[in-house]
Structure 1
């Protein structure tokens, strides 16, 4: 829930914007770059992009924006609820109001266009938040590029009130032990599996992503107690530098397709470095200039942008609408296409869907924090004071 006494929310929205921009540039360079270079669709393994340029690798590994989203989810919920009781029904009602209106509109329209994809059990599985598992609806770019992440988020929502209670009641040590236990069990399963699949175990599944949500909650705990320690523009620069260096190294070893055991550690490294960015950025940034407000608005549109950007890319590709500039190469032309065409069109569409579908339902959300009960004696004292004030 957003309120005026939470000034960090603008900074959080800006981080959401950076996350969705990473994803859009990541998919855009893949899709448009392949069409410009080879005049065919992107092939997942064959056409992956690599570079020794650190700035380029941030875009080429822009799937890391999903990790930033998940760290932010843990941070946002925990920073407002640590030390407080959460009404589970109201919390889940708010989550449904946040996710389901646009989610269901997209799913139903996609099914209307592809009726052969419908099946009662796959439909039920998808709408109940298990769309990232085998047996869910297969809806082309919609399901492969976006719905899996929505499913992982929804699974985390089911667990969050309990996780928050553990962190509130027993403190950080107990929470860290839980974190370690999950990591140990996951590692055991990894090493007992003949051919472990990092995508299935770590990328598309809550059993891998849960670490990043937990890291976000730990970051919230640190922020509430030590925000001043993370404040400083140079600290933002240092944390961003860590992200760039780590993504460069990941790209050099072809990390997305590398099945080495170190992928078990990368889940936490990636989550931890983004948590450091979140901590330093939220503790430091309070900008209200035009650029900051624009980035904040993009962050507000991030859910629509995330769910719809691959559909928009498909429309552009089907009509062969991209920008090819002779002499600069396919990847440079792809970047121009993303910045000058793909991104502006995506933002324009997202503004329509946000204000037409998301915003009205967001206004229906209710407070989900349980107010502490006031003893009857204090309630009577409050009433007596109120009457005395009126009579005076």
Structure 2
């Protein structure tokens, strides 16, 4: 895909693919009712716990979004109007198609499609857009905040880090008031702000992450151990009213952001072989993310005709080919729905000498953007 700014970063396409697979595996393994793999318990192999709690892929997507836009806009001044215009061209076409298909599905199953249509405008504020579309609304909230966040980070990165106290305080207040904070922590900018801010800070401090292999391994193991404990004590399905959601967004964001920075700065991949295949999954991750809910349950039922998927390890193994089977649909979605409007994009970032020399390469090369 071509961008009006920036470069093509294969490593970040790999991260995007992993985020999409985490979300896909969450629905492939558990759907919405704990089938075919029950919600209870955690895998003995603790490093696989994040796949059993694959909803964490949303946090990875959003930390990556913060990192990428900090990277794209490094040393450049953003033209907010054209930036928002470009993001609308990138996200709106497939989102609208997904909304339409979800509405047709509701009508075909004699559901209350009138109530569904009424809920769509509210989706700009409330998490009511279908098929994970609620996260696109959260991205839009980030885009509105991004110019201010850039100003704060460029003045003093520590000030941006301190703004996390605002989101954490908001979650504490909601927990004390309502007795639960999962809804806000998972579905709204109140929780997701941490992902975006720490993603941006990971790029700002990327030099401290480059080739720090032991540090990256320690972060990864710590994250998996934490998520294994979270999964064991009930996970997202069983700890809906737990105080852990006050700090969970910050923990996820800090781990993912640092690992993204490490992977981006410490690896060098060629666009061929397995790297190419995984990068293709990353390139089509937006399509896979929004569209997989239409087919993933059917894929599970089809495989279950021949294989017992109640075992976590068996189901996770089969989730891999099922995920890559989504690539043709992702390609068609990108080719015929997402790509055509991109011809109307405008350049939204200009090099500004007062902001320092950009760390990225010259403009005009092939680029990967966030969702």
TM-score by length of 2: 0.83
Cα distance 1:209–1:34, how it changes in 2: closer, same or farther (>3 A)? closer
Cα distance 1:363–1:14, how it changes in 2: closer, same or farther (>3 A)? farther
Cα distance 1:20–1:160, how it changes in 2: closer, same or farther (>3 A)? same
The correspondence for 2:113, drawn from 87, 92, 117, is 117
Cα distance in 1 between the residues matched to 2:126 and 2:166: 26
Q: Residue 205 of structure 2 aligns with which residue?
A: 222
Q: Residue 264 of structure 1 aligns with which residue?
A: 246
The correspondence for 1:130, drawn from 100, 125, 128, is 125
Deviation at 1:354, TM superposition (A): 1.4
Work out whether 1:243 is the aligned partner of 2:223.
yes
Which structure's CA Rg is the greater one? 1
Work out whether 1:21 is the aligned partner of 2:17.
no
Asked whether the equivalents of residues 10 and 296 of structure 1 are also in contact (C-alpha less than 8 Å), the reply is yes
Asked whether the equivalents of residues 201 and 207 of structure 1 are also in contact (C-alpha less than 8 Å), the reply is yes
Asked whether the equivalents of residues 32 and 322 of structure 1 are also in contact (C-alpha less than 8 Å), the reply is no
Q: Which has the higher contact order (CA 8 A, sep 6+)?
A: 2
Pick the structure with more helix per residue.
Answer: 1
Asked whether the equivalents of residues 17 and 298 of structure 1 are also in contact (C-alpha less than 8 Å), the reply is yes
The correspondence for 1:154, drawn from 134, 140, 151, is 140
Cα distance in 1 between the residues matched to 2:120 and 2:20: 27
Q: Residue 367 of structure 2 aligns with which residue?
A: none
Asked whether the equivalents of residues 23 and 63 of structure 1 are also in contact (C-alpha less than 8 Å), the reply is yes
Over the aligned positions, Cα root-mean-square deviation in angstroms equals 2.9
Q: Residue 166 of structure 1 aligns with which residue?
A: 152
The correspondence for 2:168, drawn from 178, 183, 187, is 183
Deviation at 1:301, TM superposition (A): 0.5
Greater shift after overlay, 233-242 or 347-356? 233-242
Greater shift after overlay, 358-367 or 12-21? 358-367
Asked whether the equivalents of residues 309 and 315 of structure 2 are also in contact (C-alpha less than 8 Å), the reply is no
Cα distance in 2 between the residues matched to 1:28 and 1:146: 15
Asked whether the equivalents of residues 4 and 345 of structure 2 are also in contact (C-alpha less than 8 Å), the reply is no
Q: Residue 301 of structure 1 aligns with which residue?
A: 284
Per-residue CA distance 1:289-340 (angstroms, 9 max, x = gap): 41112111110010001001111124435xx412456688543443344233
What SS is found at the alignment partner of 2:31?
Answer: helix
Cα distance in 2 between the residues matched to 1:328 and 1:202: 31
Cα distance 1:194–1:63, how it changes in 2: closer, same or farther (>3 A)? closer
Aligned pairs (5 A) from 1:1-392: 2=3, 6=7, 9-31=9-31, 35=35, 47-48=39-40, 50-115=42-107, 116-118=112-114, 121-126=118-123, 129-132=124-127, 136=128, 143=130, 145-168=131-154, 170-191=155-176, 193-196=177-180, 198-223=181-206, 226=207, 229-256=209-236, 257-258=238-239, 259-288=241-270, 289-316=272-299, 320-323=301-304, 330-340=311-321, 342-372=322-352
Deviation at 1:194, TM superposition (A): 4.4
Cα distance 1:254–1:101, how it changes in 2: closer, same or farther (>3 A)? same
Cα distance in 1 between the residues matched to 2:33 and 2:114: 33
Gaps of 5+ in 1: 38-45, 138-142, 375-392
Per-residue CA distance 1:257-291 (angstroms, 9 max, x = gap): 32333331221111101111101100111111411
Asked whether the equivalents of residues 82 and 167 of structure 1 are also in contact (C-alpha less than 8 Å), the reply is no
Greater shift after overlay, 263-272 or 234-243? 234-243
Cα distance in 2 between the residues matched to 1:100 and 1:67: 21
Cα distance 1:189–1:29, how it changes in 2: closer, same or farther (>3 A)? closer
TM-score by length of 1: 0.79
Asked whether the equivalents of residues 323 and 336 of structure 1 are also in contact (C-alpha less than 8 Å), the reply is no
Asked whether the equivalents of residues 85 and 165 of structure 1 are also in contact (C-alpha less than 8 Å), the reply is no
Q: Residue 363 of structure 2 aligns with which residue?
A: none
